[in-house]
Amino acid sequence: MRQAGFRAELLERFTGRTHAPVLFQDGEAHQKQRSATARFFAPKVVATRYRQLMENLSDRLVERFRSAGHAELDAMSLELAVAVAAEIVGLRQSDQRGRSRRLNRFFAASGSQRGWRSAFVGFALGQYRMLAFYLHDVRPAIRVRRAGPREDVISHLIEQGYRIAKS
């Protein structure tokens, strides 16, 4: 069985299978990497290591709701989820609201364009959005983790031999 979706076939064509992202790995390599990173996402670890972050951000979100008198629950939930995931992964350097906005734009992109021009524009826009996330959020975090590893996914991947992409 081989990974499909998220343009996996393009990634393999241009980068090969060495150190492919977990999302694009297959079989035993995928299972090994999932097992190695599972420790960062274990419920007990999340509950103990990130509980204070979740409580503090929840309090700020509720206060913002009270001040404004209204809020969108899905936006608040996304902000909380992105903040916790960013902490686990190691994306602490970038602005939380900007990171949430960049991710939301990427995931909200429609994949149902009609015609090759619309499909191309949609693809190019998606790549631009992913590049913005990489340049503003991921790459700065990698640089910081190279200088001082922490207990997070980025530090783990650096330890595994993953390297920063040159641009």
- Print pLDDT tens along the chain (167 aa): 444 555 555 555 555 555 566 666 677 877 888 888 889 989 999 889 999 999 999 999 999 999 999 999 988 998 898 889 899 999 987 787 788 788 877 777 655 667 888 888 888 888 888 888 989 999 999 999 999 999 999 999 899 888 765 54
What are the CA-CA distances from residue 154 to residues 24, 46, 77, 88, 151 (Å)? 17, 17, 24, 9, 9
Give me the pLDDT at residue 145, please. 93
Q: Which residue has the tokens 């939930």?
A: 77
Question: Mapping DSSP to helix (H, G, I), strand (E, B) and coil, where does residue 69 land?
Answer: coil
* pLDDT value, residue 110: 58
Secondary structure in 3-state letters for 96-162:
HHHHHHHHHHHHHCCCCCCCHHHHHHHHHHHHHHHHHHHHHHHHHHHHHHHHCCCCCHHHHHHHCCC
